[in-house]
Amino acid sequence: MIPSQLTDSPADAVLSILQRQGEATIKDLETGLGVTATAVRQQIAGLLADGYITQELERAGRGRPKHVYSLTPKGRARFPHHYDEFTNSLLREILVSEGPQKVTELLGRMSHRLAEQYERQLAGLPSAERAAKLTELLNAKGILTEVTFAPDGIVFHEYTCPYYELARENRAICDMEEGMIAHAVQQPVELVSCTLDGHHGCQFRIESQIVTG
């Protein structure tokens, strides 16, 4: 049985790849982990038995069908989620008693507070370096995050939604996370794709001309 918290085990390395990619074949995992197919199958067998991943048979053209693996809800639950039932209930009560505008104002203030916890490590850095450093800080908390740099902009990608259940009930949570990143990098940020819409993670874009100055 795999422990409830993520570790540095080979099995957790498999789960991390599936969390990032959404789905993968044995060959994908073999390449991503740098191990043999036999070693991958050993981890897959245990993860299937424990209910952390699911297996589907994919047929493409005339080629041989292949198995594709992805996380189950139990597997996704092994990644940290910064919410609890009390928070869900509290937001519902504010929404009912005060209305959506009050919820939006509250979450806007929370985005500032969330960014402030990283300010000491980010202080003095230009925006692009702040974005890169922020990914390190979030990854240290178990939130799978990457930043990529391209001529047309910077993309901040969160593979683990920290507030997934909350966001399912109130999309303003997405605005809070967008605001947190914007405050942390000190530049405007745009959410361009979201886990709630079926994407494999959330992508936030920072325009390159904004962050290079």
Cβ atoms of 113 and 82 within 8 Å: the answer is: no
pLDDT of residue 203: 93
User: Which amino acid is it at 89?
Assistant: S
d(CA 165, CA 38): 36
Domain 10-76 matching CATH 2.60.120.620: the answer reads no
The mean pLDDT value for 79-88 works out to 64
pLDDT of residue 212: 39
pLDDT of residue 59: 77
- The fold adopted by the segment(s) 85-211 is H-NOX domain (3.90.1520)
Domain ranges of the chain: 10-76, 85-211
User: Tens of pLDDT along 119-129?
Assistant: 989 999 998 89
